[in-house]
Amino acid sequence: MKCEVCGNEYANSFSILQGGQHHVFDSFECAIQALAPVCEHCACRVIGHGVEANGKIYCCHHCANMSDAMPTPASGGRKSKKRGRQPVDALVSEASEESFPASDAPAWTTGRE
């Protein structure tokens, strides 16, 4: 079947049904290009869970905060009028805590005891 993004004819193509529409791709790269949402802040493709805030999709909590879409914890759940964003260090710490243990590097073994 023929990929709808690149036009490549590939025997191992696959199809995805999204919102009642049938799509055919020859690679995940083409599927991501065609179907993955775009972050409202940085414009990267959101291929993970992402963050949805105020009806918009962001690739991460950091981008949602930078776009003033997310309330800051210091404001009690409301955006601060003086400062609508958290300091970058706080955002990095929060993202690191939320991603644990997925962000941990895999243990490397040499096969020796």
Q: Domain residues of the chain, as ranges? A: 1-32, 51-99
Q: Is 32 helix (H, G, I), strand (E, B) or coil?
A: helix
Q: Find the angle CA(51)-CA(54)-CA(58) to the nearest 5 degrees.
A: 30
pLDDT recorded at residue 74: 52
Q: Find the angle CA(52)-CA(54)-CA(30) to the nearest 5 degrees.
A: 40
pLDDT tens for each residue of 83-102: 445 555 565 566 656 655 55
Radius of gyration of the CA atoms of the chain, in A? 20
pLDDT tens for each residue of 15-53: 999 999 999 999 999 999 999 999 999 999 999 889 998
